[in-house]
Amino acid sequence: MSTATENPTTYAPAAETLGTVLAPSKKPPRPSAWSASMTFGWRAMLKIKHVPEQLFDVTAFPLMMTLMFTYLFGGALAGSPTEYLQYLLPGIMVTSVVMITMYTGVEVNKDIEKGVFDRFRTLPIWRPSTMIGYLLGDILRYTMASTVILLVGLVLGFRPQGGLAGAVGGVLVLLGFSFAFSWIWTMFGLMLRSEKSVMGISMLVLMPLTFLSNVYVQPATMPGWLQVFVNANPITHLVASVRSLMAGTPDFGELTWVLVASVLMIAVFGTLTMRLYNRK
């Protein structure tokens, strides 16, 4: 019935050492929304550092997509792969990056299962910062994917008329849209029960959005009913914007469309995400 004595070779909690860390030092003020978000962004970077294999999605996958579609369709659709690449590259960049946005949802879903999520939710911090942290890590991933595709494109003969400024501008618009679009996945990540169902829903949404668009062929070649869908598809407008920037002829109508769509997505899916996060 007596308290067992500690084995001296193992850790024994000592009142003095523990006492010093428990000494009531004054609590620092709560971090700002910005600081908390950046800290969660740092967490996302650390996770990439510890599991670098996950970067396959943002390096090998985009590389494969670019090579595959350039040489598969190039000859048939535009006479030569190099010719087709001028049309395809902005689109395949959009497709690849928008496809990898779904991993945001998978990451969120994996984390909810773990106790660490509870810890974050009991902290007195600005609530959306946890979610923004995921997205900051993802922006790094999107940037890597875009860079890989741009470099591969340049090697294969892609020559954007808008020059460096046009190419960078196009990538920035894509990153902005993807940040907004990712809130759909944070919502599903919190809503669905398993990462498998998050993946399933993501594919169901992403496949039609990316294929039934102007990424691969001109919408004018499609039947009328399909054109209706394609022209309403946000991906079509995004691709048109990115193309116009890279071609050095910015289409402000399309850019405005993308901006409005991005703001709306953040407003709607950001709100739904935070509602789920608070209710979970």
Partner 1 sequence: MPDLAIQTSGLVKVFGETRAVDGLDLQVPAGAVYGVLGPNGAGKTTAVRMLATLLRPDGGEATVFGHDVVREADAVRSRVSLTGQYASVDEEMTGAENLILLARLLGHRKPAARERAAQLLEAFGLSEAAGRQVKTYSGGMRRRIDIAASILNTPELLFLDEPTTGLDPRSRNQVWDIVRIVVAHGTTVLLTTQYLEEADRLAGRIAVIDRGKVIAEGTPGELKSSVGAGAVHVRLRDAATRPDAERVLTEALDATVYLDADPVALTARITGNGREAAAAEQASRALARLAEAGIVVDDFSLGQPSLDEVFLALTDHPAAEEAAA
Binding positions for partner 1, rule: CB under 8 A: 1, 3-4, 6-7, 10-15, 17-25, 27-31, 35-36, 39-40, 42-43, 46-47, 50-51, 114-116, 118-125, 279-280
Cβ-based nearer residue to partner 1, 185 or 277? 277
CB 69 within 8 A of CB 92: yes
Element (H, E) at 226: helix 224-232
CB of 55 to partner 1, least distance (A): 15
Report the alpha-carbon distance of residue 214 to residue 88 in Å, rounded: 9
CB of 252 to partner 1, least distance (A): 41
CB of 32 to partner 1, least distance (A): 9
Report the alpha-carbon distance of residue 173 to residue 245 in Å, rounded: 9
Cβ-based nearer residue to partner 1, 19 or 224? 19
**The residue count for the chain:** 280
Can you tell me which residue has the tokens 């996302």?
Answer: 44
Report the alpha-carbon distance of residue 158 to residue 175 in Å, rounded: 20
CB of 118 to partner 1, least distance (A): 5
> Which of 147, 112, 157, 113 minimizes the C-alpha distance to 130?
112
Cβ-based nearer residue to partner 1, 27 or 164? 27
Cβ-based nearer residue to partner 1, 10 or 221? 10
Cβ-based nearer residue to partner 1, 47 or 143? 47
CB of 120 to partner 1, least distance (A): 8
Q: Residue 20: how many CB atoms within 10 A of its CB?
A: 10
CB of 186 to partner 1, least distance (A): 18
Cβ-based nearer residue to partner 1, 28 or 224? 28
CB of 114 to partner 1, least distance (A): 7
Query: C-alpha distances in angstroms, 167 versus 89, 208, 215, 268?
Result: 11, 26, 17, 30
Q: Phi and psi for 118 in degrees, rounded to 5? A: -60, -40
Cβ-based nearer residue to partner 1, 12 or 232? 12
Cβ-based nearer residue to partner 1, 125 or 206? 125
DSSP character string of 127-155: TTHHHHHHHHHHHHHHHHHHHHHHHHHHH
CB of 134 to partner 1, least distance (A): 13
DSSP character string of 67-106: HHHHHHHHHHHHSSHHHHHHHHHHHHHHHHHHHHTHHHHH
